[in-house]
Structures are given as C-alpha cells and as structure tokens.
Amino acid sequence: MRFENSLEFAKVLDKKDPLNQYRDQFHFPKHKGKDVIYFTGNSLGLQPKLARTYIEEILKDWETLGVEGHFEAEKPWWDYHERFGKQLSKVVGALPEEVTVMNTLTVNLHLLMVSFYRPTAKRFKIICEEKAFPSDQYMIASQVRFHGYDPKEAIVTLKKRTGEHNFRTEDVLKTIVEVGNECALVLIGGVNYYTGQVFDMETITKAAKDQGAFVGWDLAHAAGNVDLQLHDWDVDFAAWCSYKYMNSGPGSASGCFVHKKHHGLTDIPRFEGWWGHHKKERFLMAPEFVPEPDVNAWQISNAPVLSMAPYLASLQLFDAVGMEAIITKRDLIVRYLEFILNSVSDKIGASFEIITPSNPEERGTQLSVFLHGYGKKVFHYLMENGVFVDWREPNVIRLAPAPLYCSYTDMFNFGLILEQAIVSQ
C-alpha cells in the first residue's frame, strides 16, 4: 500500500478499518475537550467502558449477598479466576487449563521460579537479556542469591553488538550453546520494553530445551500484542501483567501459563496455598494439600475479584475481535506511523532514528524513537498538546498505537503536532 500524509487518506483507512468500531468501547482522557492521542497502551491501556459494569456487578453482589457472594453471585467469586481460561488461552496460544490469573507479574515470576529454577552444583546459571526491565533484573538476582549463588557467576546476560540497538537471534543461540549444561533456566522478556524488539521465542525456546534448560518468558509487553503459541512452542512457564495492552487497569491481576506437561506432578517444588488445593475438597479443611489438576495448582490465595473484573471485561473485546485481526491492524497502523515519522523528518530536516526493528516479525505495536537534538523538550511539548507518549532514559520516546482504540487519523494528527514540537524548539 502506498501511504499518503494527508487527513483524507487517514480517514479512508479508518473507514475501511474493521476494528474502528471498537474505539468507542474505551474511555479517552480529554485535552481541550477532545480525545487525546494515546500512545501509552504499552504502559497502561485505556479503560474499557464495560469495566465499570463488571466491577459494579461485584459491588452489588457484595452489597446484597455479603459473604454468600462467594457462591451465590451470578459470577461466583470462589471460581472467578476460572472464567479466564478459554478466552485468555486464545490470546497466548495455550490450552485453557494452562492459563490462569492471580497476583501481579513479578510475584508470579517469583512463584514460578520456585518450580522452574532448581539449581544444582553443575546446572545453576540463568540466561537473561542485558538491561532487562529493572523488576526482572532485581527478581532474578534475588532468586540467585536466595539459592546461595553469586549473581556475577550465575547470571549470563545476552549482549547486543557494539553500535547496534537490538539483539541478534544467532548471538542468543550461540550464548545458549556456550553455557550448555550449566544452564538451568532461560528467562527473557518476549518483547524488549525499551526498543520494542520481539524475540524469536519459538527458536530460542527450542535451543534452550536442546541444552536441557527450563524456559520462561516475561510477556508484559507481548500479551495482547504479538502472536504467541506458548503450548506449541513447549514453553515451560510465562507470566504477564494485564494492564498494558490488555487494558485491565493499574496494578491489576497478572496472567500466568504453566505447560500441561508439568500439571499433576507430585514431586515439583511449589509454594502452595488454599486456592491451589483441589476445589472439590477445598472446604473440607483437610491438612494435606491436594493440588488442582491444572495451572490453578499454582494459585495461593482467593481471587481478588475486584481487580480481576476489568480484565474479564477487556477479554470480551479481545475474544470478539481475535488476535489475528488485532495483529493485522497492528502491522498496518505501525507502518503508517513509521511513514508519518519519516514524512515529518524529510519535510523539516529533523534527525529521527527508529531503533525498533523494521521487520514486522520483529516488532509489535511499539516504535521507539531517538529524536536526536530534541529529546525531552519534544516529549513535554507533545504531552502538553494532547499526545500521550512515554519517555525512557536516556533519550527514547516510545509510541505504541494500540489497535483496539487508536486510529489512523490519530497518526496523521500526531505528525502535525510533532512537526510543531520540533519547529518551535
């Protein structure tokens, strides 16, 4: 498709867009009475209008049923988490019994590492990416220290080549082979939060499995954004926050995946609690733990239903649209955004550098941009003029046009404001 940097062309794309109708299903912040241009769905997704209904259902049940809401509510609280399996499995490429919702992201990763980081004198190393999201760095280092190892010896960080912004798959595979049978776990962010690079998760998972290692993925920036086939790729475990592309609200409950082959094992280490106990016997108060036969064996506490309700509401939209349609629009709207950026750069002679891979298979719905010579002044101008973008030190502006609610007209209007932001400096 040949793009045009014009309002008329953007409106034509919007008219042809089968997802355009879903924009009205979200609440937008306002700037001077108009919807903002929202590029921060990779940090916090917009609120689905249906979220309020789902929350108020629970509040009404609590008001009228009290404790009986656990069993007598239309959506009983005691098994609320089980409602996510079928719909969420379609988003991440899993079997329904392999996915659940509980806790928050880093908590879930810690809990899953109890099961899947089992260091021995010989096999104790963890491979992760250089400059992973800080929370992952802290978590991995603390797990290593907890087991009595020195992070400097036990953590192997994947490096980018000098002068390059992104990781090369061949370098990742080479590192896995070099670490070999000392590798206990490969744990990487499926989409790099800073550059927006999508790792070749299938290839990396297979390479790690060939070395006998467990494989986990932090999918904070991947779930609801990129194609995932966790079951078929033979991933051991994964976790993701739900408040970015999946629009569940600030700090809401996290999703997690455990491959079916690990279900029902009696010798797998795991921190256990009441809600992981088999539901048919849960209220018999027996002293011995009997695990649920699926991923819910990793549940610990009863479901935080008020936190889960917006996530369940958002999943209705994902289920109606489907990941294939989301990815199709994602690719087109990101290409159009890239075109707009280059058009502005050519028009005014500005120096932009998009550090996100240009290959659509290596990126999701994020473009990370160096605005050489402009930096934070441009960021502040955009924010003050109704464009919500994300700044990451030392000098990157991240733009994430979420397909469910961003429009092609947004991309065109952003170009106008970006041009003004640079010219005014």
CA-based nearest residue to 245, from 336, 305, 326: 326
Q: Are 5 and 339 in contact (CB under 8 A)?
A: yes
List pLDDT tens digits, range 126-173: 999 998 888 999 999 999 999 999 999 999 999 999 999 999 999 999
CA-based nearest residue to 113, from 140, 93, 131, 92: 140
Sketch the domain layout of the chain as residue ranges.
7-35+323-423, 52-321
Question: Under CATH, which number does the domain 52-321 receive?
Answer: 3.40.640.10
List pLDDT tens digits, range 20-74: 999 999 999 999 999 999 999 999 999 999 999 999 999 999 999 999 999 999 9
Burial 381-413 (b: 16+ CB within 10 A, else e): bbeebbbbbbbeeebbbbbbbbbbbbbbbbbbb
Question: Under CATH, which number does the domain 7-35+323-423 receive?
Answer: 3.90.1150.10
Q: What is the pLDDT of residue 301?
A: 94
Whether the bond between 96 and the residue before it is cis, its omega within 30 degrees of 0, is: no
List pLDDT tens digits, range 298-343: 999 999 999 999 999 999 999 999 999 999 999 999 999 999 999 9
Question: Distance between CA 241 and CA 244 in Å, rounded?
Answer: 7
Residue 201's pLDDT band, with cuts at 50, 70 and 90, is very high
Residue type, 91: V
Residue type, 276: G
Coil/strand/helix, residue 51 = helix
Question: Distance between CA 13 and CA 412 in Å, rounded?
Answer: 11
pTM more than 0.85 = yes
Residue entry with tokens 């550059």:
195
What number of other Cβ atoms are within 10 A of residue 377's Cβ?
14
What number of other Cβ atoms are within 10 A of residue 306's Cβ?
16
Coil/strand/helix, residue 375 = coil
Burial of 273 (0-12, 13-18, 19+ CB in 10 A): middle
Q: Are 264 and 278 in contact (CB under 8 A)?
A: no
